[in-house]
Structure 1
Amino acid sequence: MAHGVPLSWYLILSAILFCLGIAGFLFRKNIITVFMSIELMLNAVNLSFIAFSYQLRQVNGHIFTFFVMVVAAAEAAVGLAIILTVFKNRNTLDIDEISEMND
């Protein structure tokens, strides 16, 4: 990283971002917020991959990050399509109301 920033700072930031993503995933009721929390967790993992890759002077972390970004892009496309379809059919984005099987 940039001139003397220790690896632990990046890992702490990554852990904080990941925990915020978990909290958003577990405690929020809006499906868009849950979706964004999953993306936040993926980006936290990417930060760890890049930090370790830079520290160890290897390209493996960059390659893993690239694949995680590809999966996140595919997940975003499919996930948003599902969210739009659910909203169109149910007129709500509340997870508790969506989970009801009643029409």
Structure 2
Amino acid sequence: MIAHTLFAYIFVAMILFSIGLLGVISRKNIFVIYMSIELMLNAINLMFVALSHYHHDMGGQVMAMMVIAIAAAEAGVFLSLIVVLYRRKKSLDSDLFRTLSQKEVA
């Protein structure tokens, strides 16, 4: 019975990760790409917690908490880059990220 629920959690995590990967590959809007990366991280967290519960070990749950903490720090950096990109180019197209490193000639 527990193995069936474990496979259900793994299946849901794989579906969520696949949706996130599809969003990263197919979208150009940088905010949608960011949300897709967060979806992939949450799918990995679900996998960690499900396997941790199955093996009666707290290691996976601790790892999930570490991933959440790292994702919070990553959110601050990523959202600040989004603000800089929008202020400079008035667009959230991911192709414009290359122009942030180039010096503008006045």
Q: Normalised by the size of structure 2, how large is the TM-score?
A: 0.87
* Counterpart AA for 1:78: V
Q: CA deviation at 1:102?
A: 8.7
Residue correspondences, number:
101
Considering only aligned residues, what root-mean-square deviation do their CA atoms show, in Å?
1.8
- Match of 1:92, SS state, is coil
Match of 1:13 in 2: 12
Q: CA deviation at 1:4?
A: 8.3
Contact 2:85 2:96 in 1 (8 A): no
- Alpha-carbon distance in 2 for matches of 1:81, 1:58: 37
Structure 1 stretches lacking a partner, 5+ long: none
- Alpha-carbon distance in 1 for matches of 2:37, 2:85: 18
Structure 1: 4+ residue segments shifted above 6 A:
none
* Counterpart AA for 1:24: G
- Match of 1:6, SS state, is helix
* Counterpart AA for 1:30: N
How much identity, in percent, do the aligned residues show? 38
- Alpha-carbon distance in 1 for matches of 2:28, 2:18: 17
Match of 1:88 in 2: 87
Q: Normalised by the size of structure 1, how large is the TM-score?
A: 0.90
Structure 1's 23 and 102: CA in aligned 2 closer, same or farther, altered over 3 A?
A: farther
Structure 2 stretches lacking a partner, 5+ long: none
Match of 1:27 in 2: 26
Is 2:76 the partner of 1:77?
A: yes
* Counterpart AA for 2:98: S
